[in-house]
Amino acid sequence: MSCPNLETVAAWTLDELAPDAAEAFEEHYFGCDACLAQASEMRRLITELGAALPPILTGERRRALAASHPGHSVVDVHPGETAALTLGTAAPVGLWVMHAPLAGVERVDVDARDPSGAALFSLKDVPFDATRGEVVLACQLHYRGLTGSGRVQVTLTATDVRGAVAESAYVLEHFFESA
């Protein structure tokens, strides 16, 4: 077997390769330094993804965060409002709870821009709590380089089961305390 492509390495790492192909790859990487390095990097990437704080939290991730970082800041914000969140080494994680009318909604998309209108990120079909009418956006100290001035304009686009679309906009201001 010659060195497989990275897609095969990803499939092996996730245990999604057919058993005979998985065994062939194992026989190969036991004798190949380059493939060992690629497979180690792939595992590191998947571990990093699993440990990363997602931008939009599911209920389970929010509960896990509350357990691992008790006392993190939570800022509620309603459509049309501007709110502020301060992060620092003592409080490295904070949550924005964006409230919106989400009853009967099937899908929510998130779009974030800086004050000049330049796109920061855009996420399609994110987790949301229809009953409570909440979309929870997590922010962490590590994002400080990503938010530009710290002022982020977020628009939630909610599509309901009948295809009707409603937008809610928020201005989220981030302040980062230096260490």
Partner 1 sequence: MSDSELAALVAARETRAEAALFARFAPRVELYGLKHLRSRPAADDLVQQVMLIVLEAVRAGRLEDPNKLASFVLGTCRHVTWDLRRAAQRRQEVEREATTFDVTVGPPAVTDGDVARLFQCLHRLPERESSIVRMSFLEDQTAEAIGVRLGLSAGNVRVIRHRALAKLAGCMHAEEAS
Piece of 40-48, 74-82, 97-105, 155-163 that binds partner 1 (CB under 8 A)? 40-48
The residue from 27, 76, 167, 177 that contacts partner 1 (CB under 8 A) is: 27
Using CB under 8 A as the binding rule, the residues of this chain from 107 to 146 that contact partner 1 are 121, 123-125, 127, 140-146
* Cβ at position 80, least distance to partner 1 in Å: 27
Identify the CA nearest to 87 among candidates 146, 135, 132, 133.
Answer: 146
Tell whether residue 168 is a contact of partner 1 (CB under 8 A): no
Angle between helical axes of 6-13 and 19-29 (0-180°, round to 10) = 110
Q: The dihedral of CA 53, 6, 1, 12: what is its sign?
A: positive
Contacts of 36 (CB under 8 A, 6+ apart): 29
80 or 116: CB nearest partner 1: 116
User: What b/e string do you get for 116-144 counting C-beta neighbours within 10 Å, with b at 16 or more?
Assistant: eeeeeeeeeebbbebeebbbbbbbbbebe
* Contact indicator for 86, 177 with CB cutoff of 8 Å: yes
Q: Using the minimum distance from each CB to partner 1, give the nearer residue, 80 or 118.
A: 118
Of the two residues 31 and 80, which places its CB atom closer to partner 1 in the complex? 31
Residues that bind partner 1 (CB under 8 A): 5-16, 26-27, 29-31, 36, 38-43, 45-46, 48-56, 58, 60-61, 63-65, 68-69, 72, 92-93, 121, 123-125, 127, 140-146
